[in-house]
């Protein structure tokens, strides 16, 4: 919305939220999220044509277009628990729009929603008996965190789905298209029917996550055979039909959307009587869970099968670099796995505050959660096992091993010789993001494990090829 305000000075954008602390932060000097470039955009427009407010109903009543971007998490109980999207927030937003509107509006689905949600929303909005006309559009968002501003300034495509079969539907599509046309070339604005737009978003996230699970599955085979996953991804990605992006092996994908959206897709397939299709996509998540537990097993087995009482430095907690977001970060499962094995963790992340890290590690796992760490860990154990510090040197001092769990640039250029000198021997590095210089670290004296890379001779003798 800030980018729309920046690119379309003639449009007034009011961002409304029921959360008072969030809106207060959006109106303050310190925005509630860390996102490179966002501060600049907000500061340029705030108070001009971009406003943040808790007066949800008043602003909705006055708007011509309402973008609904509320959260759509996975249902945690009841029918479809653990898979279906929880549309409670969406439904209550739609009811509120129906209640407060006095003029016709375009309602835009910005949140990621199950295919056919627009049909339900239409029913809620059109049963208002007020003679007001609502047009529903699906305009899914494809930005990635950490690169959100660049993605929005120069999107691969903008997708708008609407009722192409009616003149009013076509008019609404054109209205939204004209907004994006302020800065997005026409040929990159794709217009489709509602269901194609809704499903394309789920499909795009599923395809992206599938690439990561594919390369991660190869990383296990690389370790077993002596192939190097970086060389394999490079060679595979050189095929122009496959392409080079999104082929970096890792400790697993995280973020608030990939898992939730695939689970949602799986549920939709099951509801449509397509169990084979559902099982196909489920596998993407299973490999992701396998990759996280494989990493923990590698670590424990290479340290003589026990990390009990050993200090492990965790470098990085966010789900990717350049964001402070920890939703579904693989670090949660890896840390919980290590705590289960009674390790002492010293965690450092450049953007994630201590309260957030502790909140994530203390959060009880839901029964339906498929990850390896479903066993509940007592709160006291977490408090006793975790310390959060403010820099990488403090985290690694006296640590038996270092785990790199987020690919923050600063972890590439640390003084690893200094770090090595401050660690008991043998000193280990477990790189879950393939960012350290393995050769250089081995020369210093570290035993290094890097996902999908030929194994350190020490590791080969200490553990089976595939843990
Ligand atoms: N985070 C991301 O990078 C992307 C998110 N999405 C989708 O966007 C949607 C939102 O995601 P996030 O922003 O990450 O979620 P979020 O949970 O950070 O934000 C949702 C906001 O909606 C507010 N809210 C809930 N009900 C409301 C209501 N009735 N009226 C007013 N405000 C209400 C909440 O207070 C919260 O601030 C999800 O469907 C997600 O899948 C899509 C693409 C990228
Ligand atoms: O719907 C959404 O929320 C968004 O989800 C992802 O964006 P995001 O989760 O912010 O970040 P990504 O860059 O996709 O990374 C997701 C996870 O995959 C991991 N990843 C990514 C790429 C790769 O090659 N390997 C890999 O392990 C990242 O480290 C991270 O944990 C999609 O990339 C966006 O297009 C989409 O809009």
Atom of ligand 1 nearest to the CA of 257: 41
User: CA 169 to CA 235: how far, in whole Å?
Assistant: 46
Which residue's C-alpha comes closest to atom 21 of ligand 2?
A: 246
pLDDT tens per residue, the chain (467 residues)? 999 999 999 999 999 999 999 999 999 999 999 999 999 999 999 999 999 999 999 999 999 999 999 999 999 899 999 999 999 999 999 999 999 999 999 999 999 999 999 999 999 998 877 889 999 999 999 999 999 999 999 999 999 999 999 999 999 999 999 999 999 999 999 999 999 999 999 999 999 999 999 999 999 999 999 999 999 999 999 999 999 999 999 999 999 999 999 999 999 999 999 999 999 999 999 999 999 999 999 999 999 999 999 999 999 999 999 999 999 999 999 999 999 999 999 999 999 999 999 999 998 765 445 544 456 788 999 999 999 999 999 999 999 999 999 999 999 999 999 999 999 999 999 999 999 999 999 999 999 999 999 998 877 665 554 44
208 in ligand 2 pocket by Cβ < 6 Å?
yes
Taking residue 425's Cβ as centre, other Cβ atoms within 10 Å add up to 10
Asked if residues 430 and 451 have their Cβ atoms less than 8 Å apart, the reply is no
Q: In testing the pocket of ligand 2, which one of 144, 147, 157, 452 has its CB within 8 Å of the most ligand atoms?
A: 144
389 Cα–ligand 2 center, Å: 27
152 in ligand 1 pocket by Cβ < 6 Å?
no
Which residue's C-alpha comes closest to atom 17 of ligand 1?
A: 71
Annotation says 191 is catalytic: no
19 in ligand 1 pocket by Cβ < 6 Å?
yes
97 in ligand 2 pocket by Cβ < 6 Å?
no
112 Cα–ligand 1 center, Å: 9
257 in ligand 2 pocket by Cβ < 6 Å?
yes
pLDDT at 458: 79
321 Cα–ligand 1 center, Å: 21
In whole angstroms, how far apart are CA 94 and each of 119, 180, 195?
Answer: 12, 24, 18
Q: In testing the pocket of ligand 2, which one of 70, 85, 141, 212 has its CB within 8 Å of the most ligand atoms?
A: 212
Q: Where are the domains of the chain?
A: 2-201, 258-462
In whole angstroms, how far apart are CA 69 and each of 72, 112, 262, 309?
Answer: 9, 8, 19, 45
Catalytic residue among 257, 269, 335, 403: 257
As a CATH number, domain 258-462 is 3.40.50.720
205 in ligand 2 pocket by Cβ < 6 Å?
yes
pLDDT at 223: 95
User: CA 32 to CA 362: how far, in whole Å?
Assistant: 22
250 in ligand 2 pocket by Cβ < 6 Å?
yes
Q: Indicate if 258-462 has the same CATH topology as 2-201.
A: yes
Atom of ligand 2 nearest to the CA of 325: 10
Please report which ligand is nearest the Cα atom of 328.
Answer: 2
pLDDT at 377: 85
Which residue's C-alpha comes closest to atom 25 of ligand 2?
A: 248
Does the predicted interface ipTM exceed a cut of 0.95?
yes
Instruction: Identify whether 426 is preceded by a cis peptide bond (ω within 30 of 0).
Output: yes
Asked if residues 321 and 349 have their Cβ atoms less than 8 Å apart, the reply is no
144 in ligand 2 pocket by Cβ < 6 Å?
yes
Topology at the third CATH level for domain 2-201 = Rossmann fold (3.40.50)
The torsion region of residue 436 among left (phi > 0), alpha (psi -120 to 50) and beta comes to beta
User: CA 50 to CA 31: how far, in whole Å?
Assistant: 14
144 Cα–ligand 2 center, Å: 6
214 Cα–ligand 2 center, Å: 14
User: CA 435 to CA 181: how far, in whole Å?
Assistant: 39
Please report which ligand is nearest the Cα atom of 155.
Answer: 2
Please report which ligand is nearest the Cα atom of 146.
Answer: 2
pLDDT at 467: 46
319 in ligand 2 pocket by Cβ < 6 Å?
yes
85 in ligand 1 pocket by Cβ < 6 Å?
no
Which residue's C-alpha comes closest to atom 19 of ligand 2?
A: 253
């Amino acid at each position: 919305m800030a980018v729309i305000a920046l690119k379309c000075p003639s449009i007034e954008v009011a961002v409304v939220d029921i959360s008072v602390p969030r809106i207060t932060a959006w109106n303050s000097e310190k925005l509630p999220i860390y996102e490179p470039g966002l501060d600049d955009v907000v500061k340029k427009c705030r108070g001009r044509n971009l406003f943040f407010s808790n007066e949800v109903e008043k602003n909705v009543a006055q708007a011509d277009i309402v973008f609904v971007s509320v959260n759509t998490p996975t249902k945690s109980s009841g029918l479809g628990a653990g898979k279906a999207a929880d549309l409670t927030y969406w439904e209550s937003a739609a009811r509120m729009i129906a209640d407060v509107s006095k003029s016709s509006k375009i309602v835009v689905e910005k949140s990621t929603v199950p295919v056919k949600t627009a049909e339900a929303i239409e029913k809620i909005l059109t049963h208002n008996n007020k003679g007001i006309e609502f047009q529903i559009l699906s305009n899914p968002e494809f930005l990635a965190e950490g690169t959100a501003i660049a993605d929005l300034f120069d999107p691969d495509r903008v997708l708008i789905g609407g009722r192409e079969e009616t003149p009013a539907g076509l008019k609404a599509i054109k209205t939204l298209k004209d907004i994006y046309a302020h800065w997005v070339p026409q040929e990159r604005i794709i217009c489709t029917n509602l269901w194609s737009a809704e499903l394309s978003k789920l499909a795009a996230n599923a395809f992206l996550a599938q690439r990561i699970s594919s390369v991660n599955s190869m990383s296990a085979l690389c370790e077993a055979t002596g192939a190097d996953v970086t060389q394999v991804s490079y060679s595979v990605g050189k095929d122009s039909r496959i392409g080079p992006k999104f082929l970096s092996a890792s400790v697993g994908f995280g973020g608030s959307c990939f898992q939730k959206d695939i689970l949602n897709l799986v549920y939709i397939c099951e509801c449509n009587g397509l169990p084979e299709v559902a099982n196909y996509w489920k596998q993407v998540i299973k490999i992701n869970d396998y990759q996280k537990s494989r990493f923990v097993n590698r670590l424990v087995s290479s340290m003589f099968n026990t990390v009990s009482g050993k200090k492990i430095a965790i470098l990085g907690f966010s789900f990717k670099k350049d964001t402070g977001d920890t939703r579904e970060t693989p670090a949660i499962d890896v840390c919980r796995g290590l705590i289960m094995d009674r390790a002492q963790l010293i965690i450092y992340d450049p953007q994630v505050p201590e309260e957030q890290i502790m909140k994530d590690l203390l959060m009880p796992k839901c029964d339906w959660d498929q990850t390896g760490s479903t066993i509940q860990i007592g709160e006291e154990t977490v408090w006793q096992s975790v310390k959060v510090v403010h820099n990488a040197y403090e985290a690694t001092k006296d640590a038996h091993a270092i785990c790199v769990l987020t690919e923050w640039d600063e972890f590439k250029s640390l003084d690893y010789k200094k770090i090595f000198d401050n660690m008991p021997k043998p000193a280990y590095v477990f790189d879950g993001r393939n960012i350290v210089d393995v050769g250089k670290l081995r020369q210093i004296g570290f035993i290094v494990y890097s996902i999908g890379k030929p194994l350190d001779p020490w590791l080969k003798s200490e553990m089976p090829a595939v843990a």
